């Protein structure tokens, strides 16, 4: 099919992926994970909610955790628009195009518009929230991976191009999209508004489901310090995938699971992408390859587990493909053996 | 059982693990692997042999690759003694104690004494070899992980304490030893002469077999640059295990397999260990844990594949234990699932 | 005085600082400097011109060097607009407001509009240039500091706010501005369009003069590898200032001088700055302090030497202030001395 | 003159430079400096003394600070011998050769022998001290540069070869020595016992005086994190020299001054040096060059300021040479100027 086209004169100005809200069973355990390992700063908290931000963030929060005794779902993902006026333009646009949208009250945020995208994903928009000082230079107070800022989120959707079109009509551009090599089957796409290649990543699977959010760290050393800290404070087995380096032109990754299983990617600063001549690039993916420059393929859990969005039904795909999981990879991997295995494992 | 005691007045002065000789099917492929990915320097080569060294090494070679059309075995491991005179003392000692030992001619090495240790492992000793300039500061000429120096090797042996005793009688000290928690079953030990915790590592398995050699890299960046290069030049799937951080007090690791399956560990500089009060430390190992501070446990191949030594029979152990492999780990790992898996994998 | 206000509905859309043109006496020496030390890639060259780009840049060039036997001036600085249409809007705007502007032919660039800003600085705008592949992942081919991309330039101007107003009318925002503490004397300001705090930096001095351009490197390791390489290939004394860390919230810096004395800053990726609530921040500067978080103040040459722009007269300031130079700092610095100096230096 | 020869059968076995004792005016200020910036751990303290160690050190202390209201002198430098028995051998040797030596009581150390070397430098020897756990893997508790271990100290002496001979008779080897190029005038030498190129460094100047001690850090990131912390907690101007990279084959350096002016070098792990064929290397030094691979030459204070040893008279040299100081360097440094300086500085 033809790739949807970006609307370069969008009805209102979304500037970036900015925040998200996750439910958690045990706020204390989750707090430890995000402050000690990821290195987020607590901007505010009470018995039922914790507001967290990266060390360079001025916005009050990029991650909100809310206590639940039910399913640890994702309440919504959030984006910034540039101006308060953009919220009114957005409301007008959504009303006109039949997208359910209403203003809601969110602590520490100014006017906030909640809508559902083409897949049903709940998204909220705000232009401003309370601000906090950037503390990225106060390195002596930082913990773990000292994550700088929330960068993007990945959402599983049953129809990548329909979901992408929704955002491209709102001005999002595509940096890359993944197609099964030798076919025209698109299995994912990277969409952006700010000057790096992703604000929202869409992956072809049953959904909509929240797969992960990505926090940027300053260096490999910070990433590893986060992992060392994880090992030291009881989260040593929180790593689901990585460290490794993504294929195509992407960077290093490590995926961690929080106490509720919510997934966070730690990544390095990405390339800058601003110019008109940065056209969408097709990335053929060999389903029998790891897809990485180096590092194992993801384990099955990475492909199969994700959080639902609150009260949003999941449309199940009959066929989610047969990605190369770590489990399969290990079963087929053959080093040139220098001798017969000494024994057969159980 | 009682741990053997170090002989602090050894019959001759071994200073360090220094070199090894591996057989290879395709010298060109192996050369690429060691020069481009590991970053070794070719000191000399002809149609049948390549002599390699790390960028800071003054000795002519720490790794010799010899062409074979047979099994890619390990010919021997090598150690330096301090002085030529130590070779004569060694010969005298081995003759007196009934250890087979004879002088052999080895290109680029001065007088070289070959002997078999208590497990039958072929070992050669030399005091001096031709020297080469250290080129560690010529960073603009370095490739891959720019490995600095060969640091240690790991040998699989069917009787860890018998093997260790042989070396402790020669002055080796123990830094750590691994015991199955709650038992007195020792599954490995780290022996050293130079000022870091390992020159030769012994692991309890069928053997003797050569498991890996370890090259020190300067920083995590160099390690990752080696892996990036691997991905770029066609060795992206050479990683068998890692990156991760070992348990106990040890450092970061990545294990790579060369084109013949020979295994190299890249590691960071270790702690300094010199003093009389650095007594052997027992490290209880929970067989159901990864044994790592962070990072997956090793895959089955890491436990089961190793090179035999040329013409040395392998004594098979009836029971090699049931280490926690990556395969098992993945099968039992349960993240707190945020929803039911979307489908059951094949 | 009141700080000028950003025009959030600018007459056309400048997206970023993108390139510059410098004159050089000895192209071969300059080529060595920029390719071996900074790590730029040659996109094209002939006997009189070299076109260079950072390893992640898709645009054909961010630095053009032209051979001269005269003064090694700066020919112009360059910016990208988003669309070809923006060039027409720019021409219309400049004509209407009396700013000299004309279309010029520049190799490898599409339509290019050259104008002079409020200080007389020659600036060129283009929407597109020929593209090149990003090669940032081909790390095994990279050299020196493997600079990623041109990020910003600094221009000395005799009237900071007048110069700033010109750009703020075109949509530029202020991240920070430097004022002499206790006064309202502004000595510099940081202006941006893309999502980090600077595209063009204005410093209050005689001018307009080109002070430096800044290239982003991926990590401290890359920066240091650039300096190691400099030392190895004959540019060991090219460092004028640093490494150090800027004051306020800014990052690490090192300033190098090329064979003609042109100055390049190597810097790490900066914070993200996108949101409406990122208002200009005044940064009071104590003229008796180094102004740095750590590291020496700049030497006198850093304050006093800069390239003129081709055929643009310099307006000399009667008073350029008395910045704390390294020379002064060393003369007044007193460590608590643990004994009398052993002798008096010459 | 002929270089003294190492005695490879020394009368007793010194293993390494291990500790030192410095006097300080304000223990609280010094404590802050060494714990927050350098990252040392306090092993014990009372109102008059603080005992500090690096994060990987097992010995109770490598740096002892004692409160004084007088001169902040260096009380002594300390070395480890391998065995208690070596202390008796040392006493016997010193008595026999007329070197003043006596056993002293030092808290947390076992038997300790204090002697004066050929220049009068007070040195103490011990085989064992109380031990502490290594905490190098507890990275989440580390501060500043998280220094790993004390590595070496540098002493100014009026007769380098006489001082060196004293230690070479005790088994020390020379890695390098610095000679003024074109002369046979030796201005410094690097002596070692453990497996890296320096335990004690001797520099030709009036003395004996204590110039600096060197602590090893794990990576450039740790070094920079120490400097960032320095800037954040009020020690931003403690840097006297660096960061830079030494000439010859040596590594990166930064020299800091503590609140009393005592000097600490932070350095990266050095090369391994063990083998018989590692003969002393002469390093000709051009007195008109910086002597560095990159980075400024040291300021005058680095050459002229050092701590005396308690009650040890300083033998003043009539001529300490004319080293290239940063002050001189700046005065003579000429970049190819791209235009006349805009004005003459005061």
> Which position has the higher pLDDT, B79 or C335?
B79
**Least CB–CB distance from D137: residue in B8, B128, B249:** B249
**Least CB–CB distance from D227: residue in C262, C294, C300:** C294
Please give the residue of chain A at the shortest CA–CA distance from C151: A272
Instruction: Evaluate if residue A140 carries a pLDDT over 60.
Output: yes
Do D58 and B277 make contact, defined as CB atoms within 8 angstroms? yes
Please give the residue of chain B at the shortest CA–CA distance from D82: B276
Round the CA-based radius of gyration of chain B to a whole number and report it: 20
Who's near A321: CB < 8 A, 6+ residues apart?
A: A180, A187, A204, A287
Who's near B198: CB < 8 A, 6+ residues apart?
A: B151, B152, B175, B190, B191, B192, B214, B270
Query: How close C162 gets to chain B, by Cα (Å)?
Result: 45
> Which position has the higher pLDDT, C193 or B335?
C193
Do D272 and B194 make contact, defined as CB atoms within 8 angstroms? yes
Question: Which residues, listed in sequence order, are joined to residue D111 by a DSSP beta bridge?
Answer: none
Is the omega angle on the peptide bond into residue D276 within 30 degrees of 0, that is, cis? no
pLDDT bin (cut points 50, 70, 90) of residue D320 is confident
**Least CB–CB distance from C221: residue in D71, D220, D301:** D220
D171-221 confidence digits (pLDDT tens): 999 999 999 999 989 999 999 999 999 999 999 999 999 999 999 999 999
Do C233 and B144 make contact, defined as CB atoms within 8 angstroms? no
> What average pLDDT does the structure give for chain D?
94
How far, in whole angstroms, is CA A319 from its chain's centroid?
A: 23
pLDDT bin (cut points 50, 70, 90) of residue D336 is low
**Least CB–CB distance from D36: residue in A140, A221, A229:** A140
Do B275 and D59 make contact, defined as CB atoms within 8 angstroms? yes
DSSP annotation of D283 reads E
Cβ contacts (< 8 Å) between D128 and chain B: which residues?
275-277
**Least CB–CB distance from C304: residue in D209, D333, D342:** D342
Cβ contacts (< 8 Å) between B292 and chain D: which residues?
none
Tell the residue number behind the tokens 């026999």, with chain if given: D96
DSSP annotation of A139 reads G
- pLDDT the model gives residue D288: 85
pLDDT bin (cut points 50, 70, 90) of residue D339 is very low
Do C232 and B143 make contact, defined as CB atoms within 8 angstroms? no
Cβ contacts (< 8 Å) between C140 and chain B: which residues?
36, 143-144, 228-229, 232-233
Look at phi and psi of residue B185 and say left if phi exceeds 0, alpha if psi is from -120 to 50, else beta: beta
Average pLDDT, integer, range A110-126 = 98
Instruction: Evaluate if residue D164 carries a pLDDT over 60.
Output: yes
Instruction: Evaluate if residue D306 carries a pLDDT over 90.
Output: yes
**Least CB–CB distance from B322: residue in A260, A305, A346:** A346
Do B140 and C232 make contact, defined as CB atoms within 8 angstroms? yes
Q: By the 8 A CB rule, do B22 and B262 touch?
A: yes
D91 sits in which H/E element: helix D84-97
Do B342 and A261 make contact, defined as CB atoms within 8 angstroms? no
Instruction: Evaluate if residue B340 carries a pLDDT over 60.
Output: no
Within a 13 Å sphere around the CA of B132, how many CA atoms are in the beta-carbon half? 20
pLDDT bin (cut points 50, 70, 90) of residue A120 is very high
Please give the residue of chain B at the shortest CA–CA distance from D86: B276
Do A229 and D140 make contact, defined as CB atoms within 8 angstroms? yes
- pLDDT the model gives residue B346: 32
| Helix segments in chain B, DSSP class H | 27-32, 84-97, 160-168, 220-233, 300-304, 326-332
A1-58 confidence digits (pLDDT tens): 579 999 999 999 999 999 999 999 999 999 999 999 999 999 999 999 999 999 999 9
Instruction: Evaluate if residue C343 carries a pLDDT over 80.
Output: no
Average pLDDT, integer, range A97-125 = 98
Please give the residue of chain A at the shortest CA–CA distance from B344: A304
Instruction: Evaluate if residue D333 carries a pLDDT over 90.
Output: no
Q: Which residues of A touch C (CB under 8 A)?
A: 8, 15-16, 56, 58-59, 80, 82-84, 127-129, 131, 134, 136-137, 148-149, 194-195, 218-220, 249, 268-269, 271-272, 274-278, 293
Do B140 and C219 make contact, defined as CB atoms within 8 angstroms? no
User: What is the C-alpha separation between A95 and A118, in angstroms, rounded?
Assistant: 14
Look at phi and psi of residue B278 and say left if phi exceeds 0, alpha if psi is from -120 to 50, else beta: beta
B129-172 confidence digits (pLDDT tens): 999 999 999 999 999 999 999 999 999 999 999 999 999 999 99
Cβ contacts (< 8 Å) between C82 and chain A: which residues?
275-276
Query: How close B225 gets to chain C, by Cα (Å)?
Result: 7
**Least CB–CB distance from C229: residue in B139, B225, B233:** B139
- By residue count, chain A amounts to 346
Cβ contacts (< 8 Å) between C143 and chain B: which residues?
140
Query: How close B266 gets to chain C, by Cα (Å)?
Result: 18
B161-178 confidence digits (pLDDT tens): 999 999 999 999 999 999
Query: How close A273 gets to chain C, by Cα (Å)?
Result: 9
Cβ contacts (< 8 Å) between C301 and chain D: which residues?
333, 335
**Least CB–CB distance from B229: residue in C140, C219, C221:** C140
**Least CB–CB distance from C276: residue in A82, A194, A276:** A82
> Which class for B96: exposed (0-12), middle (13-18), buried (19 or more C-beta within 10 A)?
exposed
DSSP annotation of D222 reads H
Instruction: Evaluate if residue B249 carries a pLDDT over 50.
Output: yes
Query: How close D224 gets to chain A, by Cα (Å)?
Result: 10
Share of chain A above pLDDT 70, in %: 97
- pLDDT the model gives residue A338: 40
What pTM value is reported for the model? 0.96
Please give the residue of chain B at the shortest CA–CA distance from C143: B140
Chains that touch D (3 or more CB pairs under 8 A): A, B, C
Do C80 and A268 make contact, defined as CB atoms within 8 angstroms? no
**Least CB–CB distance from C249: residue in A82, A134, A249:** A134
Average pLDDT, integer, range B23-50 = 97
Cβ contacts (< 8 Å) between C228 and chain B: which residues?
137, 139-140
Please give the residue of chain A at the shortest CA–CA distance from C110: A277
Average pLDDT, integer, range A80-102 = 97
Phi, psi of B79 (to 5 degrees): -130, 155
Cβ contacts (< 8 Å) between B39 and chain C: which residues?
none
Cβ contacts (< 8 Å) between C128 and chain A: which residues?
275-277
Please give the residue of chain D at the shortest CA–CA distance from B221: D219
Instruction: Evaluate if residue B338 carries a pLDDT over 60.
Output: no
CB atoms within 10 A of CB A102: 11
pLDDT bin (cut points 50, 70, 90) of residue B291 is confident
Do D80 and B131 make contact, defined as CB atoms within 8 angstroms? no
> What average pLDDT does the structure give for chain C?
94
Instruction: Evaluate if residue B9 carries a pLDDT over 50.
Output: yes
**Least CB–CB distance from C330: residue in D227, D306, D326:** D326
pLDDT bin (cut points 50, 70, 90) of residue A339 is very low
Lowest mean pLDDT segment, chosen from A245-259, B77-91, D107-121: A245-259
Closest CA to A23 of A315, A311, A239, A236: A311
**Is the interface score ipTM higher than 0.90?**
yes
pLDDT bin (cut points 50, 70, 90) of residue B1 is low
Please give the residue of chain C at the shortest CA–CA distance from B145: C140
Number of H helices, E strands in chain A: 6, 19
Please give the residue of chain B at the shortest CA–CA distance from C224: B139
Share of chain B above pLDDT 70, in %: 97
Please give the residue of chain A at the shortest CA–CA distance from C222: A219
Do A231 and B294 make contact, defined as CB atoms within 8 angstroms? yes
């Amino acid at each position: 099919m033809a790739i949807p086209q970006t609307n370069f004169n969008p009805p209102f100005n979304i500037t970036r992926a900015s925040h998200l809200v996750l439910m958690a069973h045990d706020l204390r355990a989750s707090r430890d994970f995000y402050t000690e390992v990821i290195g987020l700063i607590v901007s505010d908290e009470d018995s039922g909610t914790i507001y967290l931000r990266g060390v360079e963030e001025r916005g009050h929060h990029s991650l909100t955790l809310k206590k639940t005794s039910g399913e640890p779902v994702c309440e919504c993902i959030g984006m910034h628009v540039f101006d308060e006026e953009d919220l009114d333009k957005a409301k007008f646009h959504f009303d006109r195009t039949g997208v359910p949208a209403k203003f809601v009250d969110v602590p520490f945020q100014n006017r906030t518009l909640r809508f559902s995208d083409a897949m049903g994903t709940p998204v909220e928009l705000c232009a401003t929230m309370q601000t906090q000082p950037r503390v990225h230079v106060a390195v002596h107070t930082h913990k773990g991976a000292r994550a700088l800022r929330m960068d993007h989120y990945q959402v599983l959707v049953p129809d990548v191009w329909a979901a992408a079109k929704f955002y491209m009509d709102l001005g999002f551009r595509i940096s890359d999209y993944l197609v099964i090599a030798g076919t025209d089957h698109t299995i994912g796409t990277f969409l952006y508004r700010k000057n790096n290649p992703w604000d929202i990543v869409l992956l072809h699977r049953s959904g909509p489901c929240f797969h992960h959010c990505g926090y940027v760290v300053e260096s490999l050393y910070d990433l590893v310090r986060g992992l060392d800290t994880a090992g030291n404070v009881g989260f040593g087995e929180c790593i689901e995938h990585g460290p490794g380096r993504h294929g195509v032109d992407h960077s290093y990754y490590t995926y961690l699971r929080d106490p509720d299983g919510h997934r966070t990617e730690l990544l390095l600063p990405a390339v800058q992408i601003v110019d008109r001549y940065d056209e969408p690039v097709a990335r053929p993916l060999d389903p029998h390859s790891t897809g990485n420059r180096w590092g194992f393929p993801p384990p099955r859990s990475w492909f199969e587990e994700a959080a639902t969005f609150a009260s949003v039904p999941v449309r199940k795909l009959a066929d989610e493909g047969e990605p190369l999981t770590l489990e399969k990879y290990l079963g087929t991997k053959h080093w040139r053996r220098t001798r017969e295995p000494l024994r057969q494992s159980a």
